[in-house]
Amino acid sequence: MAVREIITLPDKRLRLNSEPVKRIDATVRKLVDDMFETMYGAPGIGLAAIQIGVPARVITMDLSKKDSGHEPRVFINPEITWKSDEKSASEEGCLSIPEYYEEVERPAKVKVKYLDLDGKAHEVEAAGLFATCLQHEIDHINGVLFIDHISKLKRDRVIKKFAKAAKKVEA
């Protein structure tokens, strides 16, 4: 296992549409191990493979409370099959847009089909934080960031801020 670098805004790779995983093999298992180590080290509750520069449809997540031990979950080729009409707003942040938080409105419930690490198909219905996190991470593998769900003014402001910071690092 290895902690990998999390790519941040304005890196163009964050806008890539990730490729489906065709075969779950040792490479995918190593990717998942690295993703968990990276996510826990950040620390975060969800991570999409594209956030470490790998354009594969793989998501890791752990919504457990700090004192209750880890509850790692893996979603390979996840796809939202249903969204509720009811909406829910909650504050979101992102490891690829560090230290920036904004309220985002999304469907309150979703159904997601996916494969586990053994290649077994599942479907889960999610609500609350679980639904928000799944939608956030699935957006990532589709090249969408949570700031795409906020006003254009706020989005432009945060993109400009991160672009300016990136230029300072390059200089």
Annotation marks residue 137 as catalytic: yes
Cβ atoms within 10 Å, residue 159: 15
Cβ atoms within 10 Å, residue 135: 22
The answer to whether the beta carbons of residues 54 and 31 sit under 8 Å apart is yes
Q: DSSP secondary-structure letter at 86?
A: S
Question: Catalytic one among 102, 103, 137, 170?
Answer: 137
E-strand ranges in the chain read 46-48, 58-61, 73-83, 87-94, 97-107, 109-115, 121-127
Cα separation, 93 vs 102, in Å, equals 7
Catalytic residue set: 137
